Structure formats: C-alpha cells, structure tokens
Amino acid sequence: MARAAVSGGLSPRLVWRAARLVEFRDETPSARTLVFDVPDWPGHLPGQHVDVRLTAEDGYSTERSYSIATPADGTRVALTVQLVEDGEVSPYLIETLSVGDVIELRGPVGGWFVWRSADPAPVLLIGGGSGIVPLMAMIRARRAAGSKALFRLIYSSRTPEDRYYADELRTRARDDFGLDVSYVYTRKTPEGWPLPPRRLGVADVNNGGWPPDFQPACFVCGPTGFVEAVADILIALGHDARRVKTERFGPSGT
Amino acid sequence: MGGIVSPGFRGRRGPEGGEVTLPPGQYLTEDFPVLTAGPTLRVPTDTWEFVIVTEAGEKHRWDWKQLMALPSERPTVDLHCVTKWSKLHTDWQGVSLDVLFEGVDTAADYALVHSYGGYTTNLPFEDLRNGQAWIVYRFDGEDLTPEHGGPARLLVPHLYLWKSAKWVRGITLSDEDTPGFWESAGYHDYGDPWREQRYQGD
Ligand SMILES: Cc1cc2nc3c(=O)[nH]c(=O)nc-3n(C[C@H](O)[C@H](O)[C@H](O)COP(=O)(O)OP(=O)(O)OC[C@H]3O[C@@H](n4cnc5c(N)ncnc54)[C@H](O)[C@@H]3O)c2cc1C
C-alpha cells in the first residue's frame, strides 16, 4: 500500500503499447522531436520517461529509454531524440521513422525524477545536451498548471545551434512569469557573448541557480560526466543531497 | 508478446564473429554507465562500517580494516542494468557474503540492504547466499571509484544492477519483505533480467 502512494502515476502493469508517429519537428540538425499518438495512454508526470522497443523482421528486438518532453496531454506523447552516430536506435527514430509508422513503447517509467505542480518550492533545473528534455516537460507543465513556483534553468549546450526548443525558451523566459533561463556554451558561443566557451562551473551554478538556503528542488539531467560534475558542484555549494535528483542519460563526454 | 516489426530496422547483434546471448531487451556496452538517483557519495574508509542486523535484532559489525582482513574472491561476472545496457566479463574483488553470514544466526526470508545516503533495496535472503553475492571493493584491479559505489558496494550479478547497492552500509534481515527505493518507485520486487522483470507486474 505504501508502494502505491509513492509510485508517482505508474500504472500497476506497464504494457507495451502501439505508438503511431503523427508529427515531427527538427530541433537542431541532429535532434528531432517525435510526437506519437498512443491510444489509452494513462498520463504521466513531467520528468518521467518511456521505454521504446524496436523489433526486426527476424524477431530481434532492443529497447532504449527516452524522456517525455511534454506534460500529460491526452493520448499525445512527445520525445526528443538526439542522433548518436552509429547508434542502434536513435538513427532509426530520426532518419527512418515516418509519419504514420508504428513503434512500441511503454510507460510512464520513473516515479523519482518528477516535478509535481502542487509543490510550491523553488526549482533549479540544470540540463546538458539532450538532458534538457525532461526539464522542458517540467517548464511546460508549470505554465500549463498555472504554478507560481519559481523556476531557474541553466542549460549547457555545445553551440547556440545545438539548443533544443530555442525559440520556445526565449518566449517563455519573457512570458512565463517566475522563469529565468541562463545558458552555458561548451564549444562555441553566440556573437558578442561575454565569455569564452567552457564547461559549466561553480560560478554558473551560483549565478544562475538558487542559494541553498532557499532549499530548491534540484533536477540535473544529461550525459553521465555532466551530471556527476554538476551534482558535485551543488553539494559543494551546500545543497542538501536529498534535494538533488539526477538522471544520467548515458556515456560521459559532453 | 511478439513485438510490432519496424520495417528497415535490423539492429546490431553482438560483436562480429561470436553470438552473445543477452537477456531480453538488453544491449551490449563496453562503457560502464552510471545509474544513481542523486549525487555521487564520498564515503571515507576510516569511518566506514558494515552492519548485519538479524530478525532478532542481533548486530554484526565490521570496520574497513576487518573487511580487508577477510578472505576475498575475484568474481568475473556479467552485469545487466535496468536502463538496458549489459556489460560482460567484469572483474571484481571482494568478500563473499557467505563469509560475512558465517557466524550469523538467522532464519529470515528477506533482506533489506542499506547504503550510505539512504538508498535501500530488498531481496530474498537466499539470493545473497551460496556464492551469489559479494561486498566488492575493487574493479578491474583498481580501488572502486565513488561513481561506481566505492569504497564498497554489494554485487548480486544475477539480478538487475540496482540490487547491487552502491556505498553499501548494512543488511537488515527480516521475516517480511520491505520494498526498497526503486522497488517503491514502480520497479520490480525481484528483478531477474532473464525474465525481464523490470517493472511491477512484469
Ligand atoms: C532515463 C533515460 C532517459 C533518456 N532520455 C533521452 C532523451 O530524452 N533523448 C535522447 O536523445 N536520449 C535519451 N536517453 C538516451 C537513450 O536511451 C539512448 O541511450 C540513446 O538514444 C543512444 O541509443 P542508440 O541506440 O542510438 O545508441 P547505442 O547503439 O546505444 O550506442 C552507440 C554508441 O554511442 C554511445 N552512446 C550511447 N548513448 C549515448 C548518449 N546518450 N550520448 C552519447 N553517446 C552515447 C555508446 O556508448 C555507443 O558507443 C535516455 C536514457 C535514459 C537512461
């Protein structure tokens, strides 16, 4: 019974569901948002992910996890997938899958890395690369739910062109009252940027984040090395380890 | 259930030459990815302790020096993570739980494993015995790094890797099964990769 109370919207049994691609949008030259229609989708919380399963003609199949990019919206489930060169699954999802095609997914998965719109605590989101995806779901959910929780996002990407949701984030930083967004570039900065390209450091977290006294809920997501570094910075700055939730997407190397 | 076929999807099957059999839904990696719900913990060995508590409340305690003095084994095992990667033939060094349970008087059915930082995971007690589980402190001949659970972690390779608690601190034996951290968050109570027991109900 205690289990049901903390399961964060997980259905008791996660069945594989047929998901039909209804729409896609290129976010960057190497990342695509895929919007699926999933009949009987049970809904999800921002931060949760799905498991995607691909099956070959001879029955061979493999699975990968992808964060959900949008808050619950009926039968729609949106993912944003970064192309991993030589990857087994991501090139198929980005280059082969067309509108009308059906794949399998199940979820929602993960009752821990989630933000609940009833929680009034300030929120600090720190994303690297595709790690922005579940954080964007939280930002979108905040507005959709009319939450007044104060949000700050620090978003690290290689170059300005590598940013996902760039226009939307610009608009939201202007219109979503109580949302601040700051950027870090690791390879190339925009024209006139005051700093050279570099990895996210203590100063960025200090300036773009919340003081530990505010007891913000911290969500850190991205490649393993990025998450390790950022979580260590948060702890060093005095944030309570129990308020730092992390999601590691895979190999390090930003 | 047979999956829906994705036209044009071939997939990558194991390394060329040899066919490897992996648990369903898993793929092979040469990296050693990290799955942790929060920041990496740094646990110093001078205050480290490992405590077994029986269902009668009896405590058995080891400090780091005592652990190091126990006979160790060097198991080579395959790892299967619920986030889908599998890594084969990994090389560990540590103390078999059979050694630690030698003088422990218990008839308990369940074990709840505790870590520094508050992480917990549950298993049937029998899955920790008979050469199936170790407290390991070296990986690939090197001291275990904090990212991978150092100074010492549990290793139970026949179950999904979240059962192999990092930064392990103790085991509480009980007649009742108490779900741990991920088990309370919707993951499977037992977690057998070969039966693909990822989530509740699998
Ligand atoms: C909980 C969770 C949520 C995730 N959410 C997202 C998401 O929203 N968007 C997204 O794009 N990905 C996400 N991922 C990563 C995703 O599951 C896959 O790992 C990724 O798409 C690569 O799969 P692949 O089959 O294309 O590559 P693989 O065939 O698995 O790997 C090919 C090569 O690329 C390397 N590699 C694998 N993954 C990565 C990576 N993430 N970065 C860099 N190199 C890599 C491998 O080490 C290997 O050498 C998530 C992972 C987890 C665990």
Q: What is the mean pLDDT of the segment spanning A10-15?
A: 70
Q: What is the distance between the alpha carbons of residues A247 and B2, in angstroms, rounded to a whole number?
A: 30
Give how far Cα B201 sits from Cα of B28, B80, B187, B198, Å.
25, 19, 9, 9
Distance CA A245, CA A77 (A): 23
Q: Which of A63, A234, A245 to mutate to test the interface with B (most CBs of B within 10 A)?
A: A63
What mean pLDDT comes out for the span A37-65? 95
Q: What is the pLDDT of residue A252?
A: 57
B12: pLDDT strictly greater than 90: no
Q: What whole-number distance in Å separates Cα of residue B54 and Cα of residue B123?
A: 15
- The 10s digit of each residue's pLDDT in B138-186 is 999 999 999 999 999 999 999 999 999 999 999 999 999 999 999 998 9
Query: Chain A partners of B41 at a C-beta cutoff of 8 Å?
Result: 241
Residue A2 confidence class, pLDDT cut points 50, 70, 90? very low
Going by pLDDT thresholds of 50, 70 and 90, the confidence category of residue B21 is confident
How many residues are there in chain B?
202
pLDDT digits (tens, 9 = 90+) for A16-40: 999 999 999 999 999 999 999 999 9
Note the ipTM here: 0.84
Integer Cα distance of A236 and A120 in angstroms: 25
Residue A245's pLDDT is 97
User: Whole-model pTM?
Assistant: 0.91
The alpha carbon of residue A16 is apart from the nearest alpha carbon of chain B, in Å, by 9
Instruction: Give the amino acid at A116.
Output: R
- Range A143-157 average pLDDT: 97
**Could you tell me which residues come within 8 angstroms of residue B106 by beta carbon, excluding any fewer than 6 positions away?**
B54, B55, B56, B125, B173
In this predicted structure, what is the pLDDT of residue A47? 98
Q: Which of B6, B9, B10, B27 to mutate to test the pocket of ligand 1 (most atoms within 8 A of CB)?
A: B27
3-state secondary structure of A82: strand
Contact between A128 and A221 (Cβ < 8 Å): yes
Round to whole Å and give the CA distance between B111 and B172: 6
The CA distance from A34 to A64, in Å, is 15
**Closest Cβ opposite residue A18 in set B4, B26, B184:** B4
Which ligand 1 atom sits nearest the alpha carbon of residue B30?
A: 47
- For the stretch A73-91, pLDDT in tens is 999 999 999 999 989 999 9
Q: Which pLDDT tens digit goes with each residue over A188-242?
A: 999 999 999 999 999 999 999 999 999 999 999 999 999 999 999 999 999 999 9
Nearest to A228 among B26, B40, B201 (CB): B40
Query: CA A220 to CA A154: how far, in whole Å?
Result: 10
Whole-angstrom distance, CA of residue A218 vs CA of residue B38 = 10
> What DSSP string runs through A150-187?
-EEEEEEESSGGG-TTHHHHHHHHHHSTTEEEEEEESS
Q: What is the CA angle B66-B72-B78, rounded to 5?
A: 130
pLDDT over 70 (residue B17): no
Q: How many residues would you count in chain A?
A: 254
Among candidates B6, B83, B182 on the partner chain, residue whose Cβ is nearest the Cβ of A92: B6
